[in-house]
Chains A and B, each alone.
Chain A
Amino acid sequence: DAGITQSPRYKITETGRQVTLMCHQTWSHSYMFWYRQDLGHGLRLIYYSAAADITDKGEVPDGYVVSRSKTENFPLTLESATRSQTSVYFCASNSGGGYTFGSGTRLTVV
């Protein structure tokens, strides 16, 4: 189906582990974004990408790494997970008049 999909939907990992959250879109939108949603903070931008091989930091990039080797994929990697990275992560692409979001990945770091 067309759209933006995130995987996994739920993930539990241990402190210090590396974990990658996947995001795939089928529209070939140029811009893609990663947000985290936390109580009291709303949606905070982690990283974004204007096109393949072009990425830039958002508001809260520390502890995260992204890549964009193909237009349709924008994975987010936590190189060494910390408890403060327990959150719900949303990927989005820009559909011209606004964003379309994926369903989110709920990540718990124990």
Chain B
Amino acid sequence: DQQVKQNSPSLSVQEGRISILNCDYTNSMFDYFLWYKKYPAEGPTFLISISSIKDKNEDGRFTVFLNKSAKHLSLHIVPSQPGDSAVYFCAASDPLNRDDKIIFGKGTRLHILP
């Protein structure tokens, strides 16, 4: 059963507008959440993270929001730029997992339209 879910396989957003990528999780023990960005023919790269003790973390145009009660997090990109077109993976880690494994969602492909 999927513990990290990205229910939107793809999303199209006009350049300059806000992109909102959503992620849900089922394991209430997750305490650290990450977003990775992946371009074609490249490996995923770390984008932004948030600890469960926070509800918001901002880094330039990227902000991640965490709603623990809803087991939901979202990535906001404002303003969206053409270079943001990529696949975005949501991921989570469990402090009880001694093997440092991170669990990934299936990804959301973001298309920024000119």
Chain A interfacial residues counted at CB < 8 A: 24
Distance, CA A41 to CA B57, complexed state (A): 28
Q: Assuming A97-B49, A102-B43, A103-B43, is B99 touching A31 (CB within 8 A)? A: yes
User: Does A104 contact B43, Cβ atoms closer than 8 Å?
Assistant: yes
If over half of A's interface residues share one DSSP class (helix, strand or loop), that class is named, otherwise mixed; here it is: strand
User: Does B46 contact A104, Cβ atoms closer than 8 Å?
Assistant: no
Distance, CA A103 to CA B41, complexed state (A): 7
Contacts of B107 in A (CB 8 A): 42-43
User: Does A56 contact B99, Cβ atoms closer than 8 Å?
Assistant: yes
User: Does A98 contact B49, Cβ atoms closer than 8 Å?
Assistant: yes
Q: Report which of A42, A48, A99 forms a contact with B106, defined as CB distance below 8 A.
A: A42
User: Does B43 contact A98, Cβ atoms closer than 8 Å?
Assistant: no
Contacts of B49 in A (CB 8 A): 97-98
Residue A52, interface by CB 8 Å: no
Residue A94, interface by CB 8 Å: yes
User: Does B46 contact A100, Cβ atoms closer than 8 Å?
Assistant: yes
Q: Assuming A90-B44, A104-B42, is B102 touching A99 (CB within 8 A)? A: yes
User: Does B105 contact A42, Cβ atoms closer than 8 Å?
Assistant: yes
User: Does B89 contact A43, Cβ atoms closer than 8 Å?
Assistant: yes
Within residues 1 to 60 of chain A, which ones have a CB less than 8 A from any CB in chain B? 31, 33, 35, 40-43, 45, 48, 50, 56, 58
0/1 string, A81-99, CB within 8 A of B gives 1: 0000000001010100111
Chain A residues with a Cβ under 8 A of chain B: 31, 33, 35, 40-43, 45, 48, 50, 56, 58, 90, 92, 94, 97-104, 106
> Can you give 5 contacting A-B residue pairs, CB < 8 Å?
A40-B9, A42-B104, A43-B89, A48-B99, A90-B44
